[in-house]
Amino acid sequence: MNTESPRAPRLTVSGVHHRYGNSHVLRDISLNVAPGEIVCLVGPSGCGKSTLLRLIAGLELLQAGEIRMDADCVASAQRHVQPEKRNTGLVFQDFALFPHMSLQDNVAFGLAHKPRAQREVITRTMLARVGLADRASDAPHTLSGGQQQRVALARALAPGPGLVLLDEPFSNLDVRLRHRLRTDTLALLRERNAASILVTHDPEEAMFMADRIALMHEGRIVQIGSPAELYYQPVSPFAAEFFGDVNRIQTHIIDGHAVTPVGRFPSSGLAEGSRAAVLIRPEAITLGAHAEAGSIAAEIIDSHMLGATTLVSLQVSDSSGGDMTLQSQLTSGIACMAGDTVWLRIDSAGAFVFAD
Amino acid sequence: MQHGPALPAHGVAFNWRYAVSVRLSGGLGAGWLLIAAIVALLVLLPVFSLGHHALQGSGELWSHLAAYVLPQALRDSLLLLSGVGIMVVTLGSSLAWLVTAYSFPGRRLLSWALLLPLAVPTYIVAFAYLDLWHPVGALQTGLRGLLGYESPRDLRLPDIRSMWGCILLLGLVLYPYVYLPARALFQMQAGGLIDASRTLGAGPWRSFFRVALPLARPAIAVGASLALMEALNDIGAAEFLGVRTLTVSIYATWVNRSSLPGAAQIALFMLAIVLSLIALERWARRHQRYATSGRQARPLAAQPLKGWRGLLACALASVPLLLGFALPVGYLVVEATKRFNFAGLEASILRETLNTVGMSALATLVATALAFLMAFILRVTRGQAPLVSMLVRCASLGYAIPGTLLAIGLLGPLAGFDNAFSSFLEQSFGISTGLLLSGSGAALVYAYVARFLAVGSGSIEAGFSKIPHSLDDAARALGEHAGGVARRIHLPLGMPAIAAAMLLVFVDCMKELPATLLLRPLNFETLATHLYGEAARGTYESGAIAALLIVLAGLLPIILLSRIGQAPASRKTAQAADAAAALPDLHAYRT
């Protein structure tokens, strides 16, 4: 698993624990981010990802562990560098634009230490870069949500932070706008060569944005790696289910394989006879009109066209005489109706066996 | 991955002392904790000193007080509080229901005009009615003329100078404390539920008693506890109307018998009542939060009342306005005009106005600065520092402490400081100073600040709560330190709330009577003490101008207050509504 980034890290988080009262919100978190790299923290709400971001920014006090920026320790149980001294850029879910300041004053806020002329140049450049140069003296509330998000990003990037932290920066925007802004944001982050951490609960967003994804669950990082690694080599049922729907089949290990009505799946490291769960992604199930070697008969229960894909519910007969329902997601349209018999095949790259 | 518990409470890696000191102060240094502690201590100092004096004992006086003064004072105070409590709850909640659930001629006007009695302090309403209600005064003479009687012997209303008169008058000016929160709740929170109740077949009466009233109970209790604190604080009305409450007894024990321990002993009984009122308010506020949380606000649709029913509703709702505001203020206007035509604007009135404004302005500046500081400390620590939060809460308990109690508690420490300071100067430099704090009015400013700090911080905290915390975080991450965030973010964005706080504190200081009476420097008269002196001498009419000025000042916050709940039509009015909503609730608005 690729847990280390290849270059010298900009940010190093090691052994971080955090509690609020009795709840242990972060457990032994270690993570590093290289300059120019974008790491996405994903996980269900309450998994601790926002707390980790706040600890890195210095908005919460670190209780145990250590956070380093380049070679310097910025936070440990003994040391707390104030947030204003950490050279991080922060983009908030609600954008947090200062309502009483114009756009240019917002963007110039973090440039107070720079000479006036330079301040103006940077502010103008940044606003032009996000396409809002002509709105420089407008108030934030006159902007649309997408424009506010762009100003928030420009403001965070203006002081040239070594580390950019984005806390669900697109969640307040509608879907279409979200997709466009992802692309714009990605381009902007890339050209600044800053290390970036983006927090999101949206797995698709994480896969789109991230060089590496850190999946968090109940205060731990359960898996970290490239989007493809997380999608195709999940380390647990939770990881597999987080990045997409799965068909789940309960079974046992026989002869080193998890045996199911739809085939035998090799299982390494699981004890003979132990309980196992086979997780199959819907798009790994393909359908054919005719029987082929290794294909299995199934009856179509219903099908729903979702646009680019079609979702088909199938019924497969169990060896013990029972029935089992599976979901298949097909990229091509299918000319079949409920009640038809089809022949399914399973792509083993989309099927995972775990101890149950 | 290592799953070891690296964060046990006694882990080696965890530096408690560091964490505690930073946590307590929100990472700002222990200085903030210290400031909160000092302010809380200064506000509560009078209470501590009171206990100290009471424990010293008043010698033989105590047996006299316990036998002849205390039983009557306790009985009168409790009777008065019960009466006023029943009156403000009935009047306040029924009026609130009338103007929200029904539409009738004059409803819009009445809806805010019913707040006007708040502008009339208790001692002024009593002052006005003493003369109005006099057997040969305007009211009874007019009534006799109307009914065709000749002499006061034929028709004479009961004497207003009695317990029931005091309850009636206090209730008439204090009911808005219940009316305002109850109205807000009926308007905003109860809408959907009352609609549901109506569609389930409950008529307006049943909806009121089964749904609206239980829902509003916490809001009503908060309002009632504030009204009762005000009733307990009152000294003028009770004194003028001959009701010997605890407040009057404390004042008399100090002024007539010069016994600080004696006054302090009675004051301890008052403190017990204050504490139970605070407990009531806290309890109600907790339930209020629960009752109003997470519910979609939907305005209540009013039932139209047609024909004579509408006129009856209008007439009924006008009665408290008439008796609590129009009549006494009309009387003051008439008397003030007479006085002005007769004697012009006397120099004494000008001097007293300057005294009042000067003292109030000074106290307002200090109180607002401290309130800003406390609200800022609370915001920076974000409730994660229980000790700081507790100290800030303690610092805002002054609003519940009656002025008399506060003043009696302050007399000891002030005299102690003054004596120590002047003897120090005398011994060290041979200079003879007078009494520095008591003689200069600093004592008065101290008392005002202690009593009204909560009014200011309530308003500023409410304003701060509208500033998202992410703005603070953004400014910090962009390189601004904590103090800079206060200056560049909180100050400009909190300005409407700060301005509202200043207005509220200023007007409260202007109206304050009991603490002013006890703590003012010799021969220093404010409008309120002037009025008190005139009433005590029985020369009512010459106090009318002073009373009118106080009422006029008291109208300002009500105008601000009346903008709450009006639908913002544009950006501009939305900002105005924001400013008005920065008034936390009646907590900040007290007569």
**Closest chain A C-alpha to B362 CA, distance in angstroms:** 29
Contacts of A332 (CB under 8 A, 6+ apart): A310
Q: B500 near B464, Cβ under 8 Å? A: no
DSSP B437-479: HHHHTHHHHHHHHHHHHHHHHHHHHHHHTTS-HHHHHHHHHTT
Domain boundaries, given as residue ranges, for chain B: 19-52+345-538
How far is the C-alpha of B66 from the C-alpha of B69, rounded, in Å?
A: 6
Looking only at the bridges linking them, the beta strands covering A38-42 and A220-225 are unpaired
Return the structure tokens found at B294: 């997470």
Contact A39, A210 (CB under 8 A): yes
Summarize pLDDT for B148-201 with one digit per residue, the tens.
Answer: 777 777 777 788 889 999 999 999 999 999 998 888 888 776 666 777 777 676
Q: Which pLDDT belongs to residue B578?
A: 40
Contact present, B164 and B237 (Cβ < 8 Å): no
Pick the residue from chain B with its C-alpha nearest to A153: B474
ipTM of the complex: 0.77
Angle at A26 between CA A24 and CA A30, to 5 degrees: 150
A18 and B7 in contact by Cβ < 8 A? yes
CA distance A162 to chain B (A): 12
A63 contact residues in B (CB cutoff 8 A): 7, 14, 19
What pLDDT is attached to residue B346? 80
Select from B19, B470, B489 the Cβ nearest to the Cβ of A92.
Answer: B470
Taking CB atoms and an 8 Å limit, are B476 and A58 in contact across chains? yes
Measured from the Cβ of residue A99, the count of other Cβ atoms closer than 10 Å reads 15
Record: contact B15-A28, CB cut-off 8 A: no
Starting at the earlier edge strand, list the strands of the sheet with A11-20: A23-33, A11-20, A64-69, A72-76
**Which residues of B lie closer than 8 Å to A, measured between beta carbons?**
1-7, 11, 13-15, 18-19, 22-23, 27, 468, 470-471, 473-481, 488-489, 492-493
Closest partner CB to B19 (pick from A61, A83, A85): A61
Are the beta carbons of A96 and B468 separated by less than 8 Å? yes
Strands (E), chain A: 11-20, 23-33, 38-42, 64-69, 72-76, 88-91, 163-167, 195-200, 212-217, 220-225, 247-254, 257-260, 263-266, 275-280, 285-288, 296-305, 310-317, 323-330, 341-346, 351-355
Which of A93, A97, A100 is the best mutation test for B, with the most CBs of B within 10 A? A100
Residue of B nearest to A26 (CA): B7
CA dihedral (B503, B506, B507, B512) in degrees, to 10, reads: 160
3-state secondary structure of A67: strand
- By C-alpha distance, the chain B residue nearest A93 is B470
Cα–Cα distance for residue pair B67/B49, rounded to 1 Å = 25
Out of A63, A99, A220, closest to residue B14 by CB? A63
**A337–chain B nearest CA distance, Å:** 45
Mean pLDDT by groups of 10 residues along chain A of 356 residues = 64 93 90 94 90 90 92 89 88 89 92 91 94 92 92 93 92 86 91 92 93 94 94 93 91 88 85 90 88 86 86 84 85 75 88 89
A18 neighbourhood in chain B, CB within 8 Å = 7
Sheet containing A296-305, strands listed edge to edge, beginning at the edge strand earlier in sequence:
A285-288, A341-346, A296-305, A310-317, A323-330
SS3 A105: helix
Verify whether the Cβ–Cβ distance B474 to A96 is below 8 Å: yes
Chain B residues near residue A112 by CB distance under 8 angstroms:
479-480
Name the residue among A17, A59, A85 with its Cβ closest to that of B473: A59
In contact, A16 and A30? CB cutoff 8 Å: yes
The pLDDT assigned to A91 comes to: 92
Contact B493 A19 (CB under 8 A): no
- How far away is chain B from the Cα of A50, in angstroms, using its nearest Cα? 13
Q: Do A61 and B23 touch (CB under 8 A)?
A: yes
- The nearest alpha carbon in chain A to B4 belongs to A28
Q: What residues of A are in the B interface, CB distance below 8 Å? A: 15, 17-19, 24, 27-28, 54, 57-59, 61, 63-65, 77-78, 80, 82-86, 88-90, 92-94, 96, 98-100, 109-110, 112-113, 155-156, 159, 165, 220-221
Q: Note the Cα A322 to chain centre separation in Å.
A: 38
Cβ B192 vs Cβ B298: under 8 Å: yes
Q: Which of B1, B479, B493 sits opposite A84 (nearest CB)?
A: B479
Inter-chain CB proximity A90 and B477 less than 8 Å: yes
Tokens of A323: 């029935």
Identify which of B22, B474, B488 has the shortest CB distance to residue A61.
Answer: B22
- Give SS3 for A20: strand
B292 phi and psi angles, rounded to 5 deg: -105, 5
Contacts of B499 (CB under 8 A, 6+ apart): B579
Per-residue pLDDT of chain B (591 residues; tens, 9 = 90+): 334 433 333 333 444 444 444 443 344 457 788 989 999 999 999 999 988 888 887 777 888 888 888 999 999 999 999 999 999 999 999 999 999 888 999 998 999 899 999 999 999 999 899 888 887 777 777 888 888 777 777 777 788 889 999 999 999 999 999 998 888 888 776 666 777 777 676 777 788 888 888 888 888 998 899 899 999 999 989 988 989 999 999 998 888 888 888 889 899 999 999 999 988 888 887 876 555 544 455 667 778 888 899 999 999 999 999 999 999 999 999 989 988 888 888 888 889 999 999 999 999 999 999 999 999 998 888 777 788 888 988 888 888 899 999 999 998 888 888 888 888 888 887 776 667 777 788 899 999 999 999 888 888 988 888 889 999 999 999 988 888 899 999 999 998 889 888 988 999 999 999 999 999 988 899 999 998 988 878 776 678 889 999 999 989 888 877 765 443 333 333 343 343 343 334 343 332
A288: phi then psi, degrees, rounded to nearest 5: -130, 155
Q: How many CB pairs under 8 A join A and B?
A: 103
pLDDT of residue A215: 96
pTM to 2 decimal places: 0.79
Q: What pLDDT sits at residue B412? A: 86
Contacts of B19 in chain A (CB under 8 A): 61, 63, 77
Q: Enumerate the residues of chain B whose CB falls inside 8 A of the CB of residue A165.
A: 477
The fold of the B19-52+345-538 domain, in CATH, is MetI-like fold (1.10.3720)
Spatial CA neighbour of B362 closest among B510, B143, B541: B510
Of A153, A193, A158, the C-alpha closest to A173 is A153
Rg (CA), chain A: 25
Query: In terms of Cα–Cα distance, which of A33, A112, A115, A101 is closest to A67?
Result: A33
Paired sense of beta strands A275-280 and A247-254, if any: antiparallel
Interface test with A, best of B470, B481, B489, B495 (most A CBs within 10 A): B470
CB A43 within 8 A of CB A203: no
Based on its alpha-carbon atoms, the radius of gyration of chain B, rounded to whole angstroms, reads 26
